[in-house]
Amino acid sequence: MLIYEELSHEIYGAAIEVHREIGPGLLESAYEECLCRELSLRKIGFERQVPQAVQYKGVQLDCGYRMDVVVENQVVLELKAVESLEAIHEAQLMTYLRLSMKKLGFLMNFNVPLMKDGIIRRVL
């Protein structure tokens, strides 16, 4: 059984719709703006640029990290517009999941011919 199956389906569909409308080749910030607009149109709650502190030896430190989008306070979206996803991008998503204690995240690279090839779903 998939975790947050219905919400995952909606997020996936929203990303594909954004990519279908504007295509690859723009900056990450443009995709974030458009994806958030699409989530709003679908009446899905989200927060943008959510601060994420780092816990170090019992102390919470603000190191300036921000999760791109958190959907329904459950799913972390890490957005990219790069030539290809690298292992460090996936590591970043997994670290955000661990630090935020969220279970599900999507790494989304909008700089691809087909959006379905640019989405990686990870569960912690």
| Backbone φ, ψ for residue 97 (5° rounding) | -60, -45
Separation CA 89–CA 122 (nearest Å): 12
Helices (H), 1-124: 5-22, 28-41, 87-100
Please determine, for residue 2, whether its predicted confidence score (pLDDT) is greater than 70: no
pLDDT band for 12, please (50, 70, 90 cuts). Answer: very high
* Domains of the chain (ranges, CATH numbers): 5-123 (3.40.1350)
The sign of the dihedral angle between the CA atoms of 88, 94, 97, 101 is negative
How sure is the predictor about 1, in pLDDT bands with cuts at 50, 70 and 90?
low
CA 44 to CA 9: how far, in whole Å? Answer: 12
Task: Report pLDDT digits (tens) over 43-64.
Answer: 999 999 998 988 888 888 888 8
In Å, how far from its chain's centre is CA 55? Answer: 21
Pairing of strands 119-123, 75-80: unpaired
CB 86 within 8 A of CB 115: no
